[in-house]
Chains A and B, each alone.
Chain A
Amino acid sequence: MGKGTTFDLQRFSIHDGPGIRTTVFLKGCPLRCWWCSNPESISPKPQLSYLAARCIGCDACLQVCQPGAITKLSSGPVAIDRAKCTDCGDCAAVCDPKALELVGREVDVDAVMEIVLRDRDYYARSGGGLTLSGGEPLLQPEFAEMLLHAAKNHGLHTCVETSGYAGWEILDRLRLAVDLWLFDYKETDPHRHARFTGRERATVVQRLQQLHDAGAPILLRCPIIPECNARPDHLDGIAALARRLPRLHGVELLPYFDLWRGKLDRFGLKTELPATVRPPSRATVKAWNDYLRERGVRLVAT
């Protein structure tokens, strides 16, 4: 026990909660958001990443691939047939230039905490700490709980970034070890919510209300995506929601950015997000924030 699957660990995280933080990304998510910037986080299993630019054409992977998913291109690098690939990772184990890498490792709490604690002086000085993100960290509740308790035992500030899509008993159990919830709110319109995220909105809003009523500190984080939820009625919905939750720490808008698109090729994934969606301009972002501010929403930037 004490193990979980993570796909990344980011030190000097300065946008996921107060101060300087280390964010641990847990793998697996019940949602399928079109704009997900970590598409490799959705599956709970390890996944093969392939960066052709790193391939040196040594062919070591060809020898070990059991399902025969790897073929050699005449131009030098190899190609992966994702239909045949089982994400077993045998090829990654022999790939010296790390063109092939298995993303998503099973790690234990102590190993994670060893790295997290290397920056504890920075947390102490800046009011930062540990953030669990994902994926959906609540999909691995025992692992998340152990990490949070380990962090609290070392006196670290803790944040959990969540979609809220989990059983209330899980949130309720973690509650005492979480200093700030970074609660993602994605869409006001129930139909669109189901379309954009693959899950119903009602559960999310219910968990948010429950968490709030239980007295948990919450920062509402709202990804705003052009052509999807970047609409006045959704902004109105955010304002209305914030009014209903008086103890809310604040609201933070997360404007869409598109640096993640390159990951689709790396993992052989597809997205529903139209290719026309582009990051908003600074002026647009400011207009969204102003719109909410005018409606009495307390905006917080981390």
Chain B
Amino acid sequence: MKYEAVIGLEVHTELHTATKIFCNCKTSFGADPNTNVCPVCLGLPGVLPVLNKKVLEFAVRAGLALNCEISRFSKFDRKNYYYPDLPKNFQTSQFDLPICEHGYLDVEVDGEVSRIRITRAHMEEDAGKLVHHGSSITTADYSLVDYNRTGTPLLEIVSEPDMRSAKQAVAYMEKMRAILQYCGISDCRMEEGSLRCDANVSVRPVGQKELGTKTEIKNINSFKGVERAIEYEALRQAEILEAGGTIKQETRTWDENEGVTKSMRSKEEANDYRYFPEPDLVPFTVSDEYIENIRKTLPELPDARKARYMESYGLSAYDAAYVTSDKDRADFFEAMVKAGADAKEACNWLMGELAGKLSENGLEIKDSKVTPEAMAELLKLITKGTISGKIAKKIFPEMWETGKSAETIVKEQGLVQISDTGALEAMVDEAIAENPKAVADFKSGNKKAMGAMIGQIMKKSHGKANPRMVSGILIKKLQAL
């Protein structure tokens, strides 16, 4: 039987505020353990949490960017459970009155666009970090707790089970990351945990309407992990059903190294959260004016930017999607074009040479050693015909290493392209004289024979001959023979 996967995602994103959600402790990543803590986030008796203004603003901002309705009346609730990363034995979250509901985002896979509905997005506090002493949590002698992260503001964004493949889930995550980054509310780094994802996965025979029994997969830490974990889990479930078995509803953990999902041993009744309204925080109301003021500050979002790049720069849908999938990359691209680079060339260089250098050095595009303006200058030298594209690719690594401008390197090394007709004609004559066989092949109709001759001329001129002019002169001369 053929099965299809049904996938819903719960995304947690850390909001990029200066301080925690209910106290004024800093949210910085990587501080010494238990140094960004205070009586409020440690849950000491008698303290009073107060909501950070910025958290509400960011949540509304994200909600608007994700096409959500913003609740005019909202409140916090206590979600009760015992776990040592939670000093209060409850997490302050939102239950029945979340700040955002009924949104959606559009994802594209293989040219097909689907709308994924967003059920809700709510504010909550993050938990602390645990370090287990032993090979795993179940065999550890003891665990150590760092409460620095406790109280970091999170937005939990829950989708409807609208996705049908692992690829679509990845596309959803990538779109989500792009939108949240564009809005400036989170840096969305999966490897640092500022963007996290739990996947609800079930399978059903193709054509069946009702949903199968789902499992929840936790501990997915990368985009690659999203794809692999869902693919594995859907296959695992289909194999069980195919063998006549049944799926157990449970929470499973993704083991990145082994490439499998594993059942998480959970204590019975662990999921009795007994939500109730948080008495320490008063409810809040949001006015139309407040919402509209935030809407006005929303930046151009990825889809709009993609459409603009296709429309005004003539980029293909593929190129435009690549450039706009990351805000910093889109900003870099736009700065290059503003500085005079040809848009299509700029895009090619972002995908090719620059992407290569960045990954080689493990750098983000915003930390590129070559500025967009310097890259634009390099590309302009190609457009003007001063250097060939081939020479440009040699110059680029030098710009990266030395910080020198393209023009300086061209001057210092005498790399100016030979565009002098007389000089090029002499080179062409020489090539014709040295390659009687290629000339004969060309004459007998094999146009490809020309390529070898152009290659030779480029090699002899150390890449400096203007390839377009060489090709023009060569054709003319060969046809005249």
Is the A/B pair a real complex? no
The chain A residues found within 8 Å of chain B, CB to CB, are none
The chain B residues found within 8 Å of chain A, CB to CB, are none
